Amino acid sequence: MFINVNGEITREEDAVISAYDHGFLYGLGVFETFRTYDGHPFLFNDHIQRLRASLEELHIHLSIGTRDLLHEVKRTLAANDMVDGYIRLNVSAGAGNIGLQTKPYEEPTLIIYVKSLGAPVRNEKDGKVLSLRRNTPEGQYRLKSHHYLNNILAKREIGNDPKVEGIFLTEEGYVAEGIVSNLFWVSQNTLFTPSLSTGILNGITRQYVMKSAEKLQLPVKEGLYNRQTLFNADEVFVTNSIQEIVPLRSVDRVSMPGSNGTVTSKLILQYEQDRTSLLSSNDLT
């Protein structure tokens, strides 16, 4: 496998970063994950806009332009003889002295990882409410940062079954998000999702689904909801950029319609249509 480190394609076993990189020493780094369809990354501009906003908050200056980033992604795919892939575009602060730094980071480390994925398939999962509570963001809003201990501990709680997604509650008992996903449910033909005030990540697919619901004239409500709201829902699904829209067939053994959910099916179909439209265009969306 080849990865891309600051524009240099190298074998994964030969890739190195500085031991003084503050992404390693202090967790100062963010990343985006997305998948490509026939070599084209879906919602690429949205991912890069969020990446840049996060880097700005961390005072990390990334000088490379969006089109050049896209070029580097495609170079990395080509080096691995890959078309449909999982992409992790990672930016860490770069090397600095030992000690906390307040001045901006001008020479970050950019790494692009790829992993092979087959054609997208529709899947279902079971949801399990975690006993471990969601930690609060380090700043005002949660970034897609290197701080993943809460997620790792949650994954240990539910185990390695890929068909199970853990669902976080906040310390106050409000529904938050999945371990690696955002959470939605449908009640009385209205789409619900937790508010960003719960400390969840504002996922790119989350934003996409909310816009798609508007196209489908489906009301969307964000707020603070307890776990009973999930149990009473007509449909529940989770989202992320790699797994797309995944219906839940149960939440804590309360049966759900899974892929037979009417609203969920409409949103999945809309996603698939937009994904197909991407392949017929050559823009960065």
Closest to 200 (Cα-Cα) out of 223, 227, 231: 223
- 85 neighbors 10 (Cβ within 8 angstroms): no
Domain boundaries, the chain: 2-116, 125-276
Question: What is the pLDDT, as a whole number, of residue 284?
Answer: 47
Q: Any alpha helices (H) in the chain, and if so which ranges?
A: 22-25, 44-57, 66-79, 149-158, 204-215, 227-231, 262-279
Based on DSSP, count helices (H) and strands (E) in the chain, helices before strands.
Answer: 7, 15
Q: Assign domain 2-116 to its CATH architecture.
A: 2-Layer Sandwich (3.30)
Residues of the chain with pLDDT under 50: 282-285
124-146 residue pLDDT tens = 999 999 999 999 999 999 999 99
CATH 3.40.228.10 applies to domain 125-276: no
- 145 in helix, strand or coil? strand
Question: What is the pLDDT, as a whole number, of residue 119?
Answer: 83
- Torsion over CA: 39, 178, 174, 142 (sign): negative
7-17 residue pLDDT tens = 999 999 999 99
Question: What is the pLDDT, as a whole number, of residue 280?
Answer: 55
Equal CATH topology for 2-116 and 125-276: no
- What residues have CB less than 8 Å from 20, skipping those under 6 apart? 95, 96, 97, 98
